[in-house]
């Protein structure tokens, strides 16, 4: 992870920032699937947590080797987004960068379909299952997310993203087709 590319959303009066970030991230997900990439990570330099402040911001950073990032950009995956995004050149990571993990977090949000499945699995009534899940649903999730459709399952879901604590030493590992990893780090600067 010695190179990066910055993608910044341009302000648009017709589309809110979270919607544009969702569209950009969805296109990236499809490109990472097409490339079958497990060596490209992401981070969101303007990431903020908190129920009222949570946002991924307008800045998506791609991390990887120079050749791999150039190959990703040659796919033309930004078609349709060029008017909404400014893209940097492939740049070297600063020597003094720290590192952190950017991971997916999943939450039990208490949806009706989950309660129904719980009722079936545990042989309880649906109303009992809804009561159990009502308590779970009151928890406030403070992490930012994007609405995205999985390329493999075609399911639309909220992808919650968490940035870990910065650390001095990088950890190598594989990334999924969302550019996230529960074990590998990306440079943070």
CB 181 within 8 A of CB 101: yes
Q: Angle at CA 103, nearest 5°, toward 150 and 152?
A: 15
Catalytic residue among 29, 84, 99, 163: 29
User: Which of 54, 37, 56, 31 lies closest to 46 in space, CA to CA?
Assistant: 56
Is residue 89 packed enough to be buried (19+ CB in 10 Å), middle (13-18) or exposed (0-12)? exposed
Is 29 tagged catalytic? yes
Residue 151 phi, psi dihedral angles, 5° rounding: -70, -35
Burial 117-135 (b: 16+ CB within 10 A, else e): ebbeeeeeeeeebbebbee
Residues in the chain: 189
The catalytic site residues sit at: 29
């Amino acid at each position: 992870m010695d190179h990066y590319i910055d993608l910044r959303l341009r302000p648009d009066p017709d589309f809110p920032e979270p919607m544009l970030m969702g569209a950009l991230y969805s296109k990236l997900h499809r490109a990472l699937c097409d490339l079958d990439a497990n060596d490209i990570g992401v981070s969101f330099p303007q990431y903020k947590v908190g129920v009222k402040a949570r946002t991924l911001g307008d800045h998506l950073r791609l991390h990887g080797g120079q050749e791999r990032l150039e190959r990703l950009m040659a796919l033309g995956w930004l078609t349709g987004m060029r008017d909404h995004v400014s893209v940097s050149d492939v740049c070297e990571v600063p020597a003094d960068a720290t590192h952190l993990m950017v991971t997916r977090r999943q939450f039990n949000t208490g949806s009706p379909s989950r309660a129904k499945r719980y009722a079936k699995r545990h042989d309880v009534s649906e109303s009992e299952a809804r009561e159990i899940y009502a308590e779970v649903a009151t928890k406030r999730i403070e992490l930012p997310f994007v609405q995205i459709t999985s390329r493999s399952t075609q399911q639309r879901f909220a992808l919650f993203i968490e940035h870990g604590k910065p650390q001095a030493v990088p950890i190598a590992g594989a990334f999924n087709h969302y550019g996230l990893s529960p074990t590998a780090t990306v440079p943070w600067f």
